Structure 1
Amino acid sequence: MMRTPYPLEEELGMRYYASDIPGIGGRLRSRPEDFIVEEIPLPFTDADDGSYLICRLSKTNWELQRAVKEIAKRLGISHRRIAWAGTKDKNAVTTQFISIYDLAPEAVGRVHLKDISLEVVGRSQHPLTLGGLVGNRFDITIRDCIPEDLAARVQAVTEVAAAGIPNYYGLQRFGVVRPVTHVVGEKILNGDYEAAAVTYIGRAYPLETEEAQGARTHFAETRDARAALAELPVQMTYERAMANHLVANPGDYAGALRALPPKLLSLLVSAFQSYLFNCALSCRIDEGMSLTEPEVGDHLLFQDGREDIVTTRNMRAAQLQIRRGRCRIAIFIPGSGPVVPHGRMDEIMQELMQKEGIDAGDFERASRFVEMKFDGVLRPITLSTDLQAEVSDESVRLGFTLPPGHYATTVCREYMKADPYVMI
């Protein structure tokens, strides 16, 4: 294991690499075509009379929420009628599926947007839901790598990645240019809606434009929503919607947060759960526990979704099942339900929750506020996949498939060991 030298990764709980092999450096996304993502959908049920039109959405260099809003505008419908199974990267070429409620197939022809295409593939009686996919295929090129022993280093990391690397939530889970979502989520959980809204609108980050940083800083210092509305760049639609609400309803910070799309609002809270997972996983490594050898009290998550707890009696069976790839050690991420501690990892998670001043009641209150359940969930602590790696001059091309909720940048990070900002 090697510790990250980058403060941002430390801040997000991503403290370790699985390998001690020097990084290949390089840069991701020199152009959108360097990061190609293809969604693998669940089988669609044939339903000619289903209420939901299923379309294949292909886009280049579009943020999904913005793309959905623009598509809805062209169709003359509310963006809330459009659903999807996975959120894809912006600076990339992506293909995924969306469902649109109560839309005739011929209406899709009205959508003419640069670098976006929609293709009707069928109908369904149900909308797509987040996480409702088999996984994603990735074709990624890392350019401008360190040339010394490049092929040997790539091969060594490929072998480590096949065995398993820390399954951290990647940088984009917390915001790419502004990794702030988990901070806002924590403040929502604490019931401090003013601090949550001010953080969302007003916390500036160095990679933003000077105009954006200035507008954010001014709002954070003054709470002047009218000035923020005048100063915030027009493309910052979510911040402007919140500021517009505060102009019309001074002091209603809860209402300002609800001006955000419901899915985005819920993602802020779940981002804090992701942060807890990253921290707990790093704490496991801190304490010298293995990623692949179970401890008594560890949770096991099987490929079919079945769960189990490691005990002294089933330890040898658990070790065998893990080695055969039938299950993985997992960490339980708490939500609004009660938690029964089984082992050291559950204790670590409880200690992290206590340190942040968060409990199950806070998740229950947040569930009511954002109108979305935040149940506890198991997440595997390792990410492993069959990787195809090709080295050409100073570039490395990676091909692999990941299940839902796993991050391609977590794989790339293991190879590059570079500043996280060169991976955005």
Structure 2
Amino acid sequence: MLRSFSYVSDHTGFCGTVKNSPADFVVTEIEVPEHLFRGTRAESPRKTSNAPPELSSRCRHQPQKLRAGPPAPCAEACGGAPSPSGRAGGGCAAPPNKKQREGEPELKSGQEEASILDSLLGKPVSELLNKFACSLKDAWDLENNADAGTREFSLGPILDKKNRADLHSAVREKFPFLVTVTKGSEMIVKGNADYRELCQLVTEKETSDFFKFLDAKLENSTFSFEPDRNKEHRKVVHHFINRKFGKLLETKSFTVTDVNDQPNMSIMVRFREKSWSRKRSAGAFQEKQDIYTAFTLQKENLETLEAIGLLAAELGVLPSDFSYTGIKDKKAITYQPMVVKKVTPERLKEIGSKMEKKGMRIHNIHSACQHLRLGQLKGNHFDIVVRDLKHHGHDYSADLKERISEAMENVETKGFVNYYGPQRFGQGQNVQTDQIGLALLSEKMVKAVKLFFTPEDSDDPVNNAKRYFLQTEDAKGTLVMLPEFKVREKMLLRALNRYGVNHEGCTKGWLNIPHSMRIFYVHAYCSKIWNEAASYRLKIYGSKVVEGDLVFSEENDESISLNDKVHVITALEESANKYSINQVVLPMVGHSIKYPSNKVGQWYHERLSKDELQMCKFRVSSLQLNIPGCYRPILKNVQNLSYFLEGSEKGIEDSHLNESKVSLHLSFDLDPSCYATVCLREIMKCDF
């Protein structure tokens, strides 16, 4: 993906083998300093011979500003949700007068509920509540968005008991995805985690209708989900309702006839005998506070999302119950903090030996208070070995040691181009992740599904199942063939089995997998465009800062919006050399960013037109995807760089004759969203 792209320095570099084995590429996440969180005592880390460096084991409370210096304009690969003040184009994801997301209930359910809320709260507070509900829904649509679960809105003290009861009913009627709780006389509103979880299993309309049925508590009433032929999917829905509301509700599957007079199965829910009369708010159905368990995941030769799929299958939870701060390399040994919801520390310890057989170790298990967020890290530390050192071609004009020394000095001084690394695009795969992202942005849902199921050339159960699906479109048969740990594939296939391999069915299939996975593909496409834009910018203007470039303000004020922190260089500033190339940023495409006002801005528009996205709004409402965009520095610096050569004395002294006897050991730190392979590319002048 980076071949022919630009470099910062003009040193010669050298050749070598990177990632010869996972042990040659070790990544350890640098966590946020512990003093930024209020702490609790953690359990001792699990004793193993390969224990990672001691990582933070603090309880995560309300997210705080994490950066000590100027804020980076782009969180983890633009995947993390920026703060509300920093994200351009905030508010409801579905703007006024626009078509609502498919199957989503309207936020404004009627004049009656609005007037009740206005009369009980007063119009100003009622409007603030409406904005809170909109922003929470918007946050649920952003990457990982675990912090949305901690958001609360106070309605203030409501002293009258009847008024509190009326408010509970009115809020829940207008906003089914919210719950209200009373602390003393103060009423607090927050997102309903159970509503959000059920949305991952059935449509949002079904979820909304189910919770309205739950709130009504009508004697002898029942609720039925849409017909569903998939037994495994019905089992998951049964399990969810019994786990969350088992003391109040009971479920059973019964036979129905569909529009074609064919037999089908549906799940019916009813209140247990006399339980309908219990006067309890929906928020009280959650019998105990959500459990969060933090741990350090050590993995080898596994993608982060693949590792989560394996863990989720073993623990019987959803992949979306895991949170993490960044995606780590596959061909490496990596250490990263994670938090899993609804799993106790004891349960996590039980699966340790099984996970070791699958390339994972679980360390430092302890209770936590909430999810992690993407971008909630200081960076990553890398320990890398480059083997089989050689000169480029037949260039022996300098000693290999001199070539290495020159390269290290240049990169430490000048930095490297901040490209997204090849692993972001599925290096070596038949279908790159950005191709799927483009299909999703173009709303070509069937094409996106078929790209998703395009097999690799290997002959194994996963690729054989994918091959079978493309040949037959038999979703049910493919489900049987796929291993259990392929959770996302199975989620998608269940929807395809239920709705068909057509535009509607494939749309619902994509909605069936976690939001973070859907938007991952779109961000891969945006990353590809950014890489090409950075290469073009350096090719035509070099390291000179020119009129129309964008620079990011170092103003450390969260009340200033992201776009207001981006400044367009004037002709006067260019002639005065006011800014350096290290301050120049380029936009990640989205609906709320500004483009450079020079040739680079024109290039963006032409490039998007090439992919027929010139009219793209970067909102795919049918998939609940909202891509506001962000900004990323063109250049980045490496920190704490150190290295040494290992090999025989003869090999080091006479390295151009005994090159293969020498290996290079490097150690350095990079900021979040920076790629070590890209830094190595600049050092060695090699494409990987």
Give TM class, smaller chain.
Answer: 0.7 to 0.9
Q: Give the aligned residue type for 1:99.
A: V
Equivalent position of 1:399 in the other structure: 667
2:544 counterpart of 1:322: no
2:404 match: secondary structure: helix
2:679 counterpart of 1:411: yes
1:133 match: secondary structure: coil
Deviations 1:245-288 (A, max 9, x none): 4344322222333343321211000111101101111212332x
2-structure distance, mates of 1:364, 1:143: 45
Q: What does 1:16-415 correspond to in 2, within 5 Å?
A: 16-44=6-34, 45-46=37-38, 48=40, 52-101=292-341, 103-112=343-352, 113-114=355-356, 115-120=360-365, 123-124=368-369, 126-146=370-390, 149-162=399-412, 163-178=414-429, 180-202=432-454, 204=455, 208-209=458-459, 219-220=469-470, 223=473, 225=475, 238-239=488-489, 241-251=491-501, 252-287=505-540, 289-290=541-542, 292-302=543-553, 306-315=565-574, 319=577, 321-322=579-580, 328-337=583-592, 339=594, 341-359=596-614, 361-365=616-620, 368-386=621-639, 387-393=641-647, 394-415=662-683
Q: Give the aligned residue type for 2:547.
A: V
Deviations 1:310-341 (A, max 9, x none): 21233367x45537xxx521101221226465
Deviation at 1:402, TM superposition (A): 1.0
1-structure distance, mates of 2:467, 2:302: 27
Deviation at 1:84, TM superposition (A): 0.7
Deviates further, 111-120 or 70-79? 70-79
Deviations 1:59-96 (A, max 9, x none): 33332223223334444433322201111112222121
Distance 1:54 1:214, change over 3 A: closer
1:118 match: secondary structure: strand
2:298 match: secondary structure: strand
Deviates further, 87-96 or 342-351? 342-351
Q: Verify the 8 A CA contact 2:30 2:378 in the aligned structure 1.
A: yes
Q: Verify the 8 A CA contact 2:27 2:383 in the aligned structure 1.
A: yes
2:443 match: secondary structure: coil
1:314 match: secondary structure: helix
| Count of residues in Structure 1 that have an aligned counterpart in Structure 2 | 399
Distance 1:224 1:110, change over 3 A: closer
Distance 1:215 1:17, change over 3 A: farther
1-structure distance, mates of 2:361, 2:495: 31
2-structure distance, mates of 1:415, 1:340: 30
2-structure distance, mates of 1:224, 1:81: 29
Q: Give the aligned residue type for 2:601.
A: D
Q: Verify the 8 A CA contact 1:40 1:133 in the aligned structure 2.
A: yes
1:260 match: secondary structure: coil
Deviation at 1:189, TM superposition (A): 0.5
Deviation at 1:143, TM superposition (A): 1.2
1:313 match: secondary structure: helix
Q: Give the aligned residue type for 1:388.
A: S
Q: Verify the 8 A CA contact 2:588 2:632 in the aligned structure 1.
A: yes
Q: Give the aligned residue type for 1:30.
A: N
1-structure distance, mates of 2:460, 2:368: 46
Q: Give the aligned residue type for 2:368.
A: R
Q: Verify the 8 A CA contact 1:335 1:360 in the aligned structure 2.
A: no
Q: Verify the 8 A CA contact 1:54 1:120 in the aligned structure 2.
A: yes
2-structure distance, mates of 1:362, 1:164: 34
Distance 1:370 1:141, change over 3 A: farther
Deviation at 1:20, TM superposition (A): 4.5
Deviation at 1:165, TM superposition (A): 2.2
Deviation at 1:102, TM superposition (A): 5.0
Q: Give the aligned residue type for 1:268.
A: Y
Deviations 1:112-171 (A, max 9, x none): 1203123136634x4211112111111111112216633222222223322032211111
Q: Which has the larger radius of gyration?
A: 2
Q: Verify the 8 A CA contact 2:593 2:628 in the aligned structure 1.
A: no
Unaligned runs of 5+ in 1: 1-7
Distance 1:232 1:331, change over 3 A: same
Q: Verify the 8 A CA contact 1:337 1:360 in the aligned structure 2.
A: no
2-structure distance, mates of 1:275, 1:118: 35
Distance 1:79 1:227, change over 3 A: closer
Q: Verify the 8 A CA contact 2:550 2:596 in the aligned structure 1.
A: no
Distance 1:127 1:236, change over 3 A: closer
Deviation at 1:237, TM superposition (A): 5.3
Q: Give the aligned residue type for 1:120.
A: I
Distance 1:219 1:230, change over 3 A: same
Equivalent position of 1:4 in the other structure: none
Q: Verify the 8 A CA contact 1:58 1:93 in the aligned structure 2.
A: yes
Deviations 1:5-35 (A, max 9, x none): xxx545xxx6233345445222222221111
Deviations 1:363-397 (A, max 9, x none): 112xx344343112111111221432322242112
Deviation at 1:408, TM superposition (A): 0.7
Q: Verify the 8 A CA contact 1:215 1:228 in the aligned structure 2.
A: yes
1-structure distance, mates of 2:371, 2:579: 36
Distance 1:54 1:240, change over 3 A: closer
Q: Verify the 8 A CA contact 1:54 1:99 in the aligned structure 2.
A: yes
Distance 1:407 1:219, change over 3 A: same
Q: Give the aligned residue type for 2:646.
A: S
Deviation at 1:110, TM superposition (A): 2.4
Q: Verify the 8 A CA contact 1:190 1:362 in the aligned structure 2.
A: no
